[in-house]
Amino acid sequence: MSTTSKSRDLSLEEINAFGAELDALRKETMASLGKKEADYIYGVRNFVRYTEIAGRTSLMLGWLPPFWLAGTALLGVSKIVENMELGHNVMHGQYDWMNDASLRGSTYEWDTVCTADNWRHTHNFMHHTYTNVRGMDHDIGYGVLRLFPEQKWEPRFLANPVAAAILAVTFEWTLALQSLELEKLISKEKTFAQVRQEFVPIFAKMRKQFTKDYVFFPLIAGPMFLPVITGNFAANLIRNFWTFSIIFCGHFTEDAETFPIEVLENESRGQWYLRQLRGSSNLTGGKLLHYMSGNLSHQIEHHMFPDVPGMRYAEMSVKVREICERYGQHYNTGAFTKQFSTVVKRIFKYALPFSRKVEDPRAETIVAKAAKVMPMTTTSRQVTSIAA
Amino acid sequence: MSALNPVIGRFLGSVKEDWVDFMLAHIDPMLTVKRVLARVVAIHDETSDIKRFVLKPNKHWQGFQAGQYVSVKVMIDGSFNERCYSLVNSPTDQVLELGIKRQPKGKVSNWMHDNLSVGDVIELGDVGGEFVLPAVLPSKMLLIAGGSGVTPIYSILAEALKRQANLDVAVVYYVNTDKDLAFADDMVQLAVKHPSLKLHYVLASSGEAGRFSQQQLANVCADYAERDTYLCGPQGLMGAVAKVWAEQGISNKLTQEVFGLPAVDPNKPVSEMPITLRRSQQLLLNTKPTLLESAEAAGARPVYGCRIGMCKTCSCTKVSGVVRDVITGAIDDQPNTQIRICVTEALSPVTLDI
């Protein structure tokens, strides 16, 4: 945890009650899913398809600058929405209840270099289960960045800003390679042979995506192949930058907290919700921001309810915010520029050896803190028996 | 679409099927890569609560055997629901006919009665069922139908007489009143054409003789025990008939077709529910609080992630069965839905596609 959490420490009873209220909110929302949500996701899917066709067609007239600009913009938007509002959400199983096999979380394949299978493992399972737990959540720095003082400093982190910039430009490629955990080659935890074997399906997807954007469409454009290549490249770059920015604002803002691995021991449902809340941050904005960010502007709600359709997060956030206020928990939200500037600050600050040694990680877990807090209605004897 | 040249085939293989279907639908809503779609061409009222839906399938329809059912997929309030309905038409007909009864609490049957119109396009799933005629027809047959159970019975009757015009076949059709006789005109026409067909309508409204009993059946068909019998109807009728056949030791001459979704049997303890893992061909008992734990206790190794219902790594298809979400308490009795086995418990026999 950071040195001063803005959230009040809660007793175990309060944590249970907190979790129960959020469970009730989830249950109520899930029971109300129907035509509205189905129509919405079909609308998103159709928007992705039409903008892709319009963008790619426009690029075939791309020798004329207005067509190149329009084509690149449309294709960039198409890829962003396909990756975020459609793909990421569908793969979380948010629309499994529709029984439409083309929108099934376990089989959906998305338009980016990262394989859906790897994403489901590293993101849905690892990142969402071990959110912001140091040593478990690989998304804390992706193996190349140092973003929190508790992470051990190494000389390579002096290149933080450069690494971050490269990450932003190549984000879809680095996400594709994330499951390989290449930094383990440096620490010798992994062998090159292992990595090479795991790379096989990743390479297949990379080849497919590369062929689509840089071989197939340029070929069918005939003499117009050059603006198609440059347009596709630019559209991919636009998507990389945008997804990088939104994702980095999710867990690396100033007030975002990380946790020691001990926090996972006997973590109750309420404690899980608290960790998701304290490790995530939102972005304030209108419907356009919510749509274009794949509703990751509601990172808190997404982390509390990953399998609830994202288009419900805005409405749920009103209740979530109210619950957090009553329990004295900080609800981390702010405008994009403000939130992103604190992320940039982290990238620069922790390139340098500012660190915080954690003496007793167990003392910092939510359980331990709860044990020290006296709830209003129980005796001290009951509390100390849990502290062991 | 069936004779593709290899290049186009390879190209289509790397393009999502639902993307191609989406594009094809702009040209013609019935055009698909391989999904079977059917357009409603007519709807008739058979009785006050049974409607006959006539459908024209697209090119991908593979055909069926008389007596079989087809799975129908309709979108209701945002989700696809599947139900199996017996095909009433002859397998050589150009159109398909379904006889669907409005069930009191039936989600799909009510929707189809109230919302499906001529011109609508619906999706058809698999054809299935063992309620079919044998390769060699028996010398004497008895067909017992109750209510909407007449649908596969009529299909079998028509096919049997087509194969052998002078087949000795008796039909006993149990309904409440004469207004509830479905496909009656069709059967009468067959009776006119085939003197060897003996048709009996048994109306509950006519009193004591209007209900099934061993005596009542013997009165209309004295040699019932010698006939190969096909039975389809409501649970009460089916149970009563099966009992009589069992008492006479002729259960092997009785073929039954059961309608309806699985239901929870309050008398059977949950821990004895059989769970079938279809792909790995394993059968196990529901011994633990969740399906995942029960499978693991029996030595199976389903894939899992967080084990708290959040990451959906353990999500798989529940082919059939009634289950309950242990976190929300929500009950799911629909066929072919996605469930997270780490937070789901079985309430009836369950089949999973893992």
Q: Are B69 and B127 in contact (CB under 8 A)?
A: yes
Q: Which of B18, B312, B318, B340 to mutate to test the interface with A (most CBs of A within 10 A)?
A: B312
Give the count of beta carbons closer than 10 Å to the beta carbon of residue B325. Answer: 17
Is a pLDDT exceeding 70 seen at residue B73?
yes
Element (DSSP H or E) covering residue A360: none
Residue A34, chain B, CB below 8 Å: the answer is yes
Is a pLDDT exceeding 70 seen at residue B202?
yes
User: Is A373 a member of any domain?
Assistant: no
CA of B313 vs chain A CAs: smallest distance (Å):
7
Residue A121, chain B, CB below 8 Å: the answer is yes
CB-count burial class (<10 Å; 0-12, 13-18, 19+) for B240: middle
User: Is B211 a member of any domain?
Assistant: yes
User: Is B48 a member of any domain?
Assistant: yes
Q: Quick one: average pLDDT of A5-11?
A: 88
- Nearest of B10, B332, B19, B37 to residue A108 by alpha carbon: B19
Beta bridge pairs of residue B141: B169, B228
Total number of domains in chain A = 1
Tell me the chain B residues in contact with residue A269 when contact means C-beta distances shorter than 8 Å: 308
User: Is B102 a member of any domain?
Assistant: yes
Cβ <8 Å between A98 and B80 = yes
Measure CA A324 to chain center: 21
Interface of A with B in 85-104 (CB under 8 A): 92-93, 96-102, 104
User: Is A283 a member of any domain?
Assistant: yes
Total number of domains in chain B = 3
Cβ <8 Å between A30 and B79 = no
For residue B208, the model assigns a pLDDT of: 77
Is a pLDDT exceeding 60 seen at residue A384?
no
Of B73, B100, B128, the domain-final residue: B128
Cβ <8 Å between B16 and A96 = no
Confidence of residue A386 (pLDDT cuts 50, 70, 90): very low
User: Is B264 a member of any domain?
Assistant: no
Confidence of residue B95 (pLDDT cuts 50, 70, 90): very high
Query: DSSP secondary-structure letter at A192?
Result: H
For residue A87, the model assigns a pLDDT of: 98
User: Is B3 a member of any domain?
Assistant: no
Instruction: Please give the C-alpha separations between residue A29 and each of A32, B190, B312, in angstroms, as whole numbers.
Output: 5, 55, 18
Residue B320 belongs to domain with CATH number? 3.10.20.30
CA of A254 vs chain B CAs: smallest distance (Å):
27
Helix axes A160-169, A225-251, angle to 10 degrees: 130
Is a pLDDT exceeding 80 seen at residue A377?
no
Confidence of residue A387 (pLDDT cuts 50, 70, 90): very low
Tell me: the pLDDT tens digits for A321-356? 999 999 999 999 999 999 999 999 999 999 999 888
How far, in Å, CA of A209 to CA of A215, rounded?
A: 10
For residue A380, the model assigns a pLDDT of: 36
Is a pLDDT exceeding 70 seen at residue A25?
yes
Q: Are B216 and B244 in contact (CB under 8 A)?
A: no
Residue A272, chain B, CB below 8 Å: the answer is yes
The pLDDT > 90 percentage for chain A reads 85
Q: Quick one: average pLDDT of B217-241?
A: 94
Is a pLDDT exceeding 50 seen at residue A1?
no
Is a pLDDT exceeding 80 seen at residue A86?
yes
Do B149 and B233 lie in one domain? The reply is yes
Is a pLDDT exceeding 70 seen at residue A366?
no
User: Is A323 a member of any domain?
Assistant: yes
How far, in Å, CA of A175 to CA of A65, rounded?
A: 32
Tell me: the pLDDT tens digits for B330-352? 999 999 999 999 999 999 999 99
Provide residues of B within 8 Å CB-CB of chain A: 14, 16-19, 22, 73, 75, 77-82, 305-306, 308, 310-313, 315-316, 327-330, 334, 336-338
Cβ <8 Å between A34 and B78 = yes
Q: Are B32 and B24 in contact (CB under 8 A)?
A: yes
Cβ <8 Å between B327 and A34 = no
Residue B201 belongs to domain with CATH number? 3.40.50.80
User: Is A339 a member of any domain?
Assistant: yes
Do B247 and B275 lie in one domain? The reply is no
Is a pLDDT exceeding 90 seen at residue A388?
no
Confidence of residue A359 (pLDDT cuts 50, 70, 90): confident
Length of chain A (residues): 388
Is a pLDDT exceeding 60 seen at residue B3?
no
Q: Are B221 and B193 in contact (CB under 8 A)?
A: no
Chain A residue with the nearest C-alpha to that of B315: A106
Is a pLDDT exceeding 90 seen at residue A258?
yes
User: Is B297 a member of any domain?
Assistant: yes
Is a pLDDT exceeding 80 seen at residue B7?
no
How far, in Å, CA of A357 to CA of A366, rounded?
A: 18
Is a pLDDT exceeding 60 seen at residue A378?
no
Cβ <8 Å between B338 and A269 = no
Chain A residue with the nearest C-alpha to that of B309: A307
Confidence of residue B266 (pLDDT cuts 50, 70, 90): confident
User: Is A329 a member of any domain?
Assistant: yes
Beta bridge pairs of residue B21: none
Is a pLDDT exceeding 70 seen at residue A367?
no
User: Is A380 a member of any domain?
Assistant: no
Residues 6+ apart with CB under 8 A from A385: none
Judged by DSSP in three states, A302 sits in helix
How far, in Å, CA of A214 to CA of A233, rounded?
A: 8
Which segments of A222-265 does DSSP mark as H helices, in order? 225-251
Q: Quick one: average pLDDT of B256-280?
A: 83
Residue A306, chain B, CB below 8 Å: the answer is yes
Tokens of A278: 């304290």
Do B202 and B246 lie in one domain? The reply is yes
Q: Quick one: average pLDDT of A239-259?
A: 96
CA of B77 vs chain A CAs: smallest distance (Å):
4
Cβ <8 Å between A38 and B336 = no
Tokens of B123: 């999706």
Tell me: the pLDDT tens digits for B137-184? 999 999 999 999 999 999 999 999 999 999 999 999 999 999 999 999
Cβ <8 Å between B330 and A31 = yes
Chain B residue with the nearest C-alpha to that of A272: B308
How many CA atoms are closer than 13 Å to the CA of A161, on its beta-carbon side? 5
Do B159 and B95 lie in one domain? The reply is no
Q: Quick one: average pLDDT of B245-258?
A: 93
User: Is A385 a member of any domain?
Assistant: no
Cβ <8 Å between A99 and B81 = yes
Q: Which of A27, A36, A106 to mutate to test the interface with B (most CBs of B within 10 A)?
A: A106
CA of A113 vs chain B CAs: smallest distance (Å):
14
Tokens of A255: 């007030």
Tell me the chain A residues in contact with residue B22 when contact means C-beta distances shorter than 8 Å: 46, 49
Of B128, B148, B171, the domain-final residue: B128
Cβ <8 Å between A105 and B312 = yes
Tell me: the pLDDT tens digits for B48-65? 999 999 999 999 999 999
For residue A66, the model assigns a pLDDT of: 97
For residue A385, the model assigns a pLDDT of: 32
Tokens of B9: 């085939």
Q: Are B67 and B155 in contact (CB under 8 A)?
A: yes
Residue A105, chain B, CB below 8 Å: the answer is yes
Element (DSSP H or E) covering residue A177: helix A171-178
Residues 6+ apart with CB under 8 A from A147: A140, A141, A252, A346, A347, A350
Do B161 and B231 lie in one domain? The reply is yes
Give the count of beta carbons closer than 10 Å to the beta carbon of residue B150. Answer: 32
Tell me the chain B residues in contact with residue A93 when contact means C-beta distances shorter than 8 Å: 312, 315, 338
Complex ipTM more than 0.85, yes or no: yes
Which segments of A32-156 does DSSP mark as H helices, in order? 35-59, 65-81, 89-91, 116-119, 128-129
Query: DSSP secondary-structure letter at B12?
Result: H
Q: Which domain holds residue A263?
A: 12-349
Residue found under tokens 């009864």: B101
Q: Are B83 and B108 in contact (CB under 8 A)?
A: yes
Tell me: the pLDDT tens digits for B290-314? 999 999 999 999 999 999 999 999 9
CB-count burial class (<10 Å; 0-12, 13-18, 19+) for A98: buried
For residue A184, the model assigns a pLDDT of: 86
Confidence of residue A368 (pLDDT cuts 50, 70, 90): low
Is a pLDDT exceeding 60 seen at residue A381?
no
Is a pLDDT exceeding 80 seen at residue A361?
no
For residue A356, the model assigns a pLDDT of: 84
Average pLDDT for chain B: 92
Q: Which domain holds residue B298?
A: 270-352
Amino acid in the structure at residue B353 = D
Stretch among A52-66, A108-122, A234-248, B208-222 having the lowest mean pLDDT: B208-222
The pLDDT > 70 percentage for chain B reads 97
Q: Quick one: average pLDDT of A263-274?
A: 94
Maximal CA-CA distance, chain A: 82
For residue B272, the model assigns a pLDDT of: 80
Q: Are B18 and B32 in contact (CB under 8 A)?
A: no
Q: Quick one: average pLDDT of A132-153?
A: 92
Residues 6+ apart with CB under 8 A from A305: A26, A29, A313, A316
- Nearest of B82, B80, B287, B26 to residue A96 by alpha carbon: B80
Q: Could you say which of A36, A208, A272 has the minimum Cβ distance to residue B14?
A: A208
Q: Could you say which of A27, A34, A128 has the minimum Cβ distance to residue B328?
A: A27
Q: Quick one: average pLDDT of A205-224?
A: 94
User: Is B65 a member of any domain?
Assistant: yes
Element (DSSP H or E) covering residue B80: strand B79-86
Is a pLDDT exceeding 80 seen at residue A3?
no
User: Is B1 a member of any domain?
Assistant: no
For residue A298, the model assigns a pLDDT of: 98
Q: Could you say which of A37, A104, A269 has the minimum Cβ distance to residue B338?
A: A104
DSSP for B154-214? HHHHHHHHHH-TT-EEEEEEEESSGGG--SHHHHHHHHHH-TTEEEEEEEGGG-GGGS--H
Do B40 and B79 lie in one domain? The reply is yes
How far, in Å, CA of A172 to CA of A78, rounded?
A: 15
Q: Could you say which of A98, A99, A125 has the minimum Cβ distance to residue B311?
A: A125
User: Is A371 a member of any domain?
Assistant: no
